[in-house]
Amino acid sequence: MGAKTRSAKGFYFYFVDEGLNGGYKMKKITSLLWVLLIAVGLLAAGCGGEEKKTSSAPAAKEELIVGTEPSFAPFEFPEKDSKEFTGFDMDLIRAIAKEMGYKKCTIKNMGFDALIPAINSGNLDVAIAGFTITEERKQQVLFSQPYYKSGLALVVRKENNAVKAFEDLKGKTIAVQLGTTGALHAEKLKGQGTVVKTFNTSDLACIELKNKGADAVISDLPVLQYFLKNGGSEYAKLVGEPLTAEDYGIVISKKNPELAKNIDKALDTLKKNGTYDKLYEKWFGSKPAK
Ligand code: ARG
């Protein structure tokens, strides 16, 4: 008669019942003990292995794969005479990766509306692209703690005196970037003759305004301010009050809550040790409002 023991790890041990007479009894007990010992040993080894995986995660520490859409200065944009991207987000994510102990931080350029799908398919570890934390996006992904306070604003061509605020956009043509909160807001104004034109990048929306293909651009205030300061004010101006208070967050897959926790921890550290303030001042010229 053969007996079967199963350890929690799924290994089977067979031992033979060597007879019922007393002579074999001792042998039987010893072999039972051996089986138990081996099973316990294997179990411990198995648990140990798993523990190692989550605590030091050597493979995962090699490279952090980051996605962005770099038409969003001063958060992410191509660095002059270089293949690298620069901006507040880029500096911040590189500092976060370093703080978390990654050897390498690789930044990939994608369409804005492709970033969340790429997070969910596992092609990216994180996405940082001036992402506003919204309830709708929270259904799909995890966000880090907020790292920047933003809001929507409106620019029109300099000579335009008809549009002074969002309420004046009725019947006008609005240019926006695909998949953004600006696009979402413009959609709400659609109808009654209002037309919304969507573009793959934020830059293209502003070019449409320049070329008189649109009356207004709705985008994030700091991005529009940067655009005006860097040549845009030749033909465009900011009008009205910035619309909503939005918070930017770093996007992480729902399958990776551990990574989200570690990013928050790294952000806490960078906020405490002054790195965050230094980067903020570098890109926005002032200390963040407390
Ligand atoms: N904050 C806005 C949003 O979340 C716009 C972000 C656009 N970002 C970019 N890198 N183009 O929808």
Tracing tokens 């970037």 back to the chain, one arrives at: 177
Give the bridge partners for 216, in sequence order. 156, 174
Residue 181 Cβ contacting ligand 1 at under 6 Å: yes
Ligand 1 center to 72 CA (angstroms): 7
Instruction: Give the distance (Å) from ligand 1 centre to CA of residue 214.
Output: 20
Which runs of consecutive H residues, i.e. helices, occur in 158-220?
Answer: 181-189, 202-210
174, 190, 181: which is closest to 113 by C-alpha? 181
CATH homologous superfamily for 152-244? Periplasmic binding protein-like II (3.40.190.10)
pLDDT of the residue at 102 = 97
Domain coordinates in residue numbering, the chain: 3-39, 63-147+248-284, 152-244
Mean predicted lDDT score pLDDT of the chain? 86
For the record, the structure tokens of 256 come out as: 């990776």
The model's pLDDT over 53-75, given as tens digits with 9 standing for 90+, comes to 444 444 457 999 999 999 999 99
63-147+248-284: CATH, from 3.40.50.2000, 3.40.50.720, 3.30.70.260, 3.40.190.10:
3.40.190.10
Sign of CA dihedral 152, 158, 164, 166: negative
Q: Could you read off the pLDDT of 174-200 as tens digits, one per residue? A: 999 999 999 999 999 988 789 999 999
How many angstroms separate the alpha carbon of residue 55 from the centre of ligand 1? 34
Q: Among 13-27, 65-79, 91-105, 180-194, which is the least confidently predicted range?
A: 13-27
63-147+248-284 with 152-244: one CATH topology? yes
Query: Tokens 């294997």 correspond to what residue?
Result: 42
- Confidence at residue 36, expressed as pLDDT on a 0 to 100 scale: 56
Average pLDDT on 37-66 reads 56
Tens digits of residue pLDDT in 201-225? 999 999 999 999 999 999 999 999 9
Angle, CA of 246, 248 and 254, to the nearest 5°: 120
Least confident range of 16-25, 169-178, 232-241: 16-25
Distance CA 266, CA 252 (A): 14
